[in-house]
């Protein structure tokens, strides 16, 4: 079979034109790519040059803006920043700064960002809310003394030393005190505090020095022995709530302490002159009446 001459001639010209068109397209693509590369490189170089200029350097702490703080002053937060002034803005690692703040200050969360216009560092914080004053006293050393190491506890059990922070003049200290090494209650504090927070009894102190017998000091009922912290802790607090009318029928000055180690059978430990304390079992809720 013989090929059509006109078809062969047209196809050859078409292929030649297409090849030339493709070559021109590839040339334009390479040119545009080179142009984009030069533009991006110039912009990157300009940004790098700009942020390394003196005007883009964090020279003093007042170039750091603090947001979200209520109790910690701006100066206290700035003093905790791991920044050696002056330092180029580009050299600062926001995540590293946030990690240092969360580990070394009473800050639960920190978000750090760099801003170029105007050049500054912005630190937004969420502070830990203290719920108790904690005294690191050891067992059998008596009540807390001014010389004992003192800190603040938040609801999760995070211990915050207060001697390192200028916050006492800006903060109303919690009314609840906790005695004992934080190692003894660190794992249980969050659960214990949720229960303490819900009870209507006014509790001023929780003594955790002896883990086999937690001791409460209340403003209404005096001293209360709860036994070890276990899954009946909330039941014991509920039993304590039911005893809030006790001062109407009992002279609390004659009571050494209330024993709630068994919340189903509360007992009063009486004080007697020259005699050992006497335990008096209270009537059960079912038989006590209103």
Q: What is the pLDDT of residue 49?
A: 55
Q: Tell me the sheet residues that pair with 207.
A: 179, 215
pLDDT at 201: 94
State residue 288's pLDDT score: 46
Could you give all domains of the chain from N- to C-terminal order, each with its CATH number?
A: 55-127 (3.10.20.310), 130-288 (3.40.50)
| Residues facing 151 on adjacent strands | 134, 161
- Please name which of 212, 210, 206, 220 lies closest in space to residue 252, comparing C-alpha atoms: 220
pLDDT reported for residue 7 = 46
Cα 234 to Cα 194: distance, rounded to the nearest angstrom: 9
At residue 24, the pLDDT reads: 67
> What's residue 56's pLDDT?
77
Residue 73: per-residue pLDDT? 83
Give dist(CA 288, CA 265) in Å, integer. Answer: 12
Q: Residue 287's pLDDT is what?
A: 46
- Maximum distance among all Cα pairs of the chain, rounded to whole angstroms: 136
The per-residue pLDDT for range 26-67, each reduced to its tens digit, is 666 776 666 676 666 656 555 555 545 556 788 999 999 999
Q: What is the pLDDT of residue 253?
A: 86
3-22 burial, b at 16+ Cβ within 10 Å, e below that, comes to eeeeeeeeeeeeeeeeeeee
> Using CA atoms, how far apart are residues 233 and 217, in angstroms rounded to an integer?
15
Q: What pLDDT is stored for residue 234 in this prediction?
A: 95
pTM: 0.66
Spell out the SS3 assignment of 43-85: HHHHHHHHHCCHHHEECCHHHEEEECCCCCCHHHHHHCCCCCC
pLDDT along the chain (290 residues), means of 10: 50 62 67 64 57 70 93 87 91 94 90 89 93 78 61 89 60 87 90 95 95 95 96 95 90 90 92 56 52
pLDDT for the residue numbered 10: 53
């Amino acid at each position: 079979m013989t090929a059509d001459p006109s078809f062969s001639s047209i196809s050859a010209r078409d292929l030649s034109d297409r090849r030339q068109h493709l070559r021109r397209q590839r040339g334009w693509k390479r040119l545009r790519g080179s142009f984009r590369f030069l533009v991006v490189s110039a912009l990157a170089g300009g940004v790098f040059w700009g942020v390394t200029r003196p005007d883009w350097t964090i020279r003093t702490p007042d170039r750091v803006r603090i947001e979200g703080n209520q109790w910690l002053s701006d100066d206290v937060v700035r003093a905790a920043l791991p920044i050696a002034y002056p330092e180029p803005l580009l050299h600062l690692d926001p995540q590293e700064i946030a990690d240092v703040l969360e580990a070394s200050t009473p800050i639960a969360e920190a978000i750090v960002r760099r801003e170029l216009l105007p050049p500054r560092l912005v630190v937004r914080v969420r502070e830990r809310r203290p719920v108790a004053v904690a005294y690191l006293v050891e067992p059998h050393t008596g009540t807390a003394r001014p010389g004992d190491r003192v800190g603040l506890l938040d609801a999760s059990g995070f211990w915050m030393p207060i001697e390192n922070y200028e916050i006492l003049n800006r903060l109303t200290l919690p009314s609840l005190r906790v005695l004992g090494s934080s190692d003894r209650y660190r794992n249980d504090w969050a659960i214990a505090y949720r229960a303490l927070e819900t009870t209507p009894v006014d509790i001023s102190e929780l003594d955790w020095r002896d883990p086999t017998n937690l001791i409460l000091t209340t403003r209404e009922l005096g001293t209360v022995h709860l036994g070890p912290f276990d899954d009946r802790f909330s039941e014991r607090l509920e039993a304590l709530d039911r005893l809030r009318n006790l001062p109407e029928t009992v002279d609390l000055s004659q009571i050494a302490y209330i024993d709630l180690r068994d919340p189903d059978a509360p007992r009063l430990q009486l004080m007697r002159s020259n005699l050992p304390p006497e335990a008096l079992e209270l009537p059960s809720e079912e038989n006590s009446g209103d």
